[in-house]
Amino acid sequence: MRGVEALLNSLVDVDRDTLISVLSMEVQTAAKLAMSGHQRTAWQRAKRRSTVEHAARLAHILAYFRDGETPQGMSEDDRRLCAGLAKKRSM
């Protein structure tokens, strides 16, 4: 999984449609990873929980750029990260 901040920084110079497309693919990939694999051990359950949280975080970021507003449940850190990217993109 790519770090969210690194992913967003790599998308500074792309157009809005490409940004939304890439984020959509990242959300789909993260969701597939979250639903795959076994959950027998504590480590596997923790890994799955981390992957589910990553997928949810990406989904919030996608909604922010797709819909133009902060989705319910989005963390303040992610909101600031998205606002910073939006500001960089508008320069």
State pLDDT tens for residues 18-76: 999 999 999 999 999 888 877 788 988 888 899 899 999 999 999 999 999 999 999 99
What gap in Å lies between CA 50 and CA 67, rounded to an integer? 25
The structure's pTM equals 0.86
pLDDT at 91 over 80: no
Sorted by where each begins, the domain ranges of the chain are 4-90
pLDDT of res. 2? 60
CB 58 within 8 A of CB 30: yes
pLDDT of res. 34? 84
pLDDT of res. 90? 79
Spell 29-41 as b/e; 16+ CB within 10 A means b.
Answer: ebbebbeeeeeee
What gap in Å lies between CA 39 and CA 22, rounded to an integer? 29
